[in-house]
């Protein structure tokens, strides 16, 4: 077995693969090589950034395990490039990895890479689709395949941090390994979209190529750096000059001037009325079977779920869903906000009190952005909620999860309010 993730990826991204991808995208082989090198490097850098998030590591480890259990999809190069509606485990897991690492920022990163490498955005996006399952497969292979845990993944990322941040660097006849242990993590989101490609893997090989570049190409960076250095100094000098002029032009104070008559103080302006804030959610204590109790809103998901479970006339219906009302995620990611933990804990407590109940978690988005990315993000978020419930002691076979993306909208996506309602997570009872 190869000794590092980078070495394994070098074995995956072979001249044969590059030569097969080029005609499918209508892109020269050297552009495919540079594009795959950069997209793979961005995935690796983003993984290192996420290594401190235990929940993200657990989810990504399971994605790698899924690819390891069904590796046949890795041979479908055309399907991997197309992405789209997942037809194989490799495509589905790749889409989930995109959503987990880049979220709503993937389009910005794709366009940045396309512009820097001279590719069409469609070709850049296809290389992103291809790179994701290759990275997952390399991670799984590095750690034995099929039984990777989040903790093991985090340990691997820490162990190989230097080479992972250096990335996959195109070289004559293939790829080189450029180890830079002190490299800074590759930023995702807006920072990644704005960062030049060269900065994502500041390897010695790339530094040598920059040193050999024509002077006209390097002068821009030097001039920009110099400009940002002198601008603050120039501004400070201008301020000093202004102060000197103001002092010179100020009239001398009149000698023994009579004090000005004191005018009656103006009546103070009435204080502005305080902004009306929405009332806080009122929580009430609800007793569960077995003596435990929880705090929930009168119209919250917990109250509705308990009413459904305890109503003998309420039959199981896959079309009946209850929206979470105190659950949210960090922007563009599947990481739950801290204030969401209490509602997740309440659901786990209810399932603990009613051991016959099984549920399904559904994730939904609005229609803004790429539908494929929305689907992957909704899947990651639904899975995250399910994982949190299982982590609190509920058997895994009692909680399933699925992302529906833009499907099943409950409000008008043409208004901000409607889009906000459509970005939701919901729960459906499947047995009681």
pLDDT over 50 (residue 216): no
pLDDT band at 256 (very low <50, low <70, confident <90, very high): very low
**Alpha carbon of 353 to those of 90, 285, 291, 384, 432: distances in Å?**
38, 15, 9, 22, 12
Most confident of 20-24, 123-127, 200-204: 20-24
- Coarse DSSP helix, strand, coil percentages of the chain, rounded to the nearest 5 percent: 55, 10, 35
Residue 418, pLDDT score: 92
How far apart CA 69 and CA 312 sit, in angstroms, is 42
Asked if pLDDT for residue 360 goes beyond 90, the answer is: yes
Among 37-41, 241-245, 335-339, 396-400, which stretch is predicted with the lowest mean pLDDT?
241-245
pLDDT score recorded for residue 105: 65
The pLDDT value recorded for residue 176 is: 56
Residue spans of the domains in the chain: they are 5-208, 283-431
**DSSP state letter for 336:** B
Whole-number pLDDT of residue 193: 39
pLDDT digit string, tens, across residues 291-313:
889 999 989 999 999 999 999 99
Confidence of residue 431 (pLDDT cuts 50, 70, 90): very high
- Mean per-residue pLDDT over the chain, rounded: 77
Q: Which sign does the torsion angle of CA 171, 172, 177, 179 carry?
A: negative
Residue 250 pLDDT > 80: no
**Cβ neighbours, 10 Å, residue 288:** 16
Q: Is the pLDDT of residue 30 over 80?
A: yes
Q: What is the pLDDT of residue 205?
A: 40
* Mean pLDDT within 137-157: 86
pLDDT reported for residue 297: 92
pLDDT at 249: 43
CATH level 2 (architecture), domain 283-431: 2-Layer Sandwich (3.30)
Q: Binning pLDDT at 50, 70 and 90, where does residue 101 land?
A: confident
> How open is the CA angle 188-385-313, to the nearest 5 degrees?
150
Minimum mean pLDDT range among 182-186, 238-242, 335-339, 394-398: 182-186
Following DSSP, what letter does each residue of 214-246 receive, concatenated? -HHHHHHHHHHHHHHHHHHHHHHHHHHHHHHHH
Question: Does the pLDDT at position 246 exceed 60?
Answer: no
């Amino acid at each position: 077995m190869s000794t590092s993730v980078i070495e394994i990826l070098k074995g995956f991204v072979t001249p044969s693969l590059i030569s097969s991808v080029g005609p499918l995208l209508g892109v020269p082989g050297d552009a495919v090589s540079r594009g795959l090198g950069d997209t793979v490097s961005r995935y690796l850098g983003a993984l290192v950034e996420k290594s401190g998030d235990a929940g993200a590591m657990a989810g990504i480890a399971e994605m790698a395990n899924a690819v390891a259990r069904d590796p046949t999809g890795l041979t479908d190069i055309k399907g991997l490039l197309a992405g789209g509606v997942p037809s194989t485990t490799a495509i589905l897991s790749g889409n989930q990895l995109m959503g987990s690492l880049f979220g709503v920022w993937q389009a910005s990163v794709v366009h940045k890479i396309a512009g820097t490498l001279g590719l069409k955005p469609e070709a850049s996006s296809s290389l992103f689709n291809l790179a994701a399952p290759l990275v997952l497969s390399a991670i799984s292979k590095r750690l034995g395949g099929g039984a990777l845990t989040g903790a093991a993944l985090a340990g691997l990322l820490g162990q190989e941090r230097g080479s992972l941040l250096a990335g996959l660097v195109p070289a004559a006849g293939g790829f080189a390994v450029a180890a830079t242990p002190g490299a800074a993590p590759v930023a995702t989101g807006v920072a990644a979209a704005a960062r030049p490609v060269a900065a994502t893997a500041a390897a010695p090989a790339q530094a040598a190529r920059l040193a050999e570049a024509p002077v006209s190409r390097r002068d821009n960076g030097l001039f920009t750096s110099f400009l940002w250095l002198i601008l603050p100094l120039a501004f400070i000098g201008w301020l000093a000059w202004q102060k000197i002029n103001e002092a010179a032009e100020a009239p001398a104070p009149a000698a023994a001037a009579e004090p000005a008559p004191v005018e009656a103080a103006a009546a103070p302006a009435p204080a502005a009325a305080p902004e009306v804030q929405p009332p806080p959610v009122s929580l009430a204590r609800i007793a569960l079977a077995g003596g435990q109790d929880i705090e929930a809103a009168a119209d919250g998901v917990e109250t509705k779920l308990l009413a459904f479970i305890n109503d003998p006339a309420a039959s199981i219906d896959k079309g009946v869903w209850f929206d979470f009302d105190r659950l949210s995620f960090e922007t563009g990611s599947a990481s739950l906000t801290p204030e969401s933990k209490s509602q997740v804990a309440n659901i786990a407590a209810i399932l603990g009190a009613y051991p016959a109940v099984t549920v399904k978690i559904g994730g939904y988005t609005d229609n803004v952005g790429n539908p494929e990315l929305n689907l992957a993000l909704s899947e990651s978020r639904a899975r995250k909620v399910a994982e949190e419930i299982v982590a609190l002691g509920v058997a895994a076979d009692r909680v399933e999860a699925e992302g529906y993306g833009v499907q099943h909208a409950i409000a008008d996506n043409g208004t901000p309010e409607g889009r906000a309602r459509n970005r939701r997570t919901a729960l459906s009872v499947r047995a009681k």
